[in-house]
Amino acid sequence: MNPVTLPSGVIYIVRPGAQPTAGTNVGQYDLLRLMSKSTTYVATNTDNKVTFTSPSTFRNTIDGAGVPEVDPSYFYVKKSVLTSATVAAAKERSYYEIEGFQEAIKKFQAFDMPDDSNYNLQGVIIVPSRAAFARDVHFNYTGLAYRNRSFVFNFQIYKTTHFDAER
């Protein structure tokens, strides 16, 4: 399937035949509509063999409501959220955003389809813990600590809305 490893260690896989023919590039400040099934893992090394253990669901719009997630803050958090935060760590983008996910999702193009359309997952992004939150303080998305956890995103970008400047 031709996985590509980025300098940060993030791996992305473009699924052949599941890309838009005239798609839209994903920009840094875009509002995404994203259908996904995403899981986090702890990478363990036993006898020099690395494996993913302790799986936990991060996002699952497929088995849940069946509609795309709109404007996920792990991709891009709005300036208004940062300025209204009362804790110093929450005033930083890295508290919310998964930088490795940002880096890889821009390698895909978005469809322009309604939320009630059937999904055809277009790729996988594997974000190792060092390219996610690593050991940093982070937003508590689901009640699970994401320190030292890697993320695996299986997704389809239903639509992206461009913003040329930070919003």
pLDDT in tens, 5-32: 999 999 999 999 999 999 999 999 999 9
Residue 116 has pLDDT above 90, yes or no: yes
Average pLDDT over residues 55-79: 93
Q: Tell me the pLDDT band of 72, cut-offs 50, 70 and 90.
A: very high
Number of Cβ within 10 Å of residue 167's Cβ equals 13
Q: What is the pLDDT of residues 91-102, one digit of tens each?
A: 999 999 999 999
Band of pLDDT at residue 75, cut at 50, 70 and 90:
very high
64 pLDDT more than 80: no
Contact (Cβ atoms closer than 8 angstroms) between residue 36 and residue 74: no
Residue 114: C-alpha distances to residues 4, 18, 67, 110 (Å): 29, 17, 10, 12
Ranges 42-51, 71-80, 98-107, 111-120: which has the least confidence: 42-51
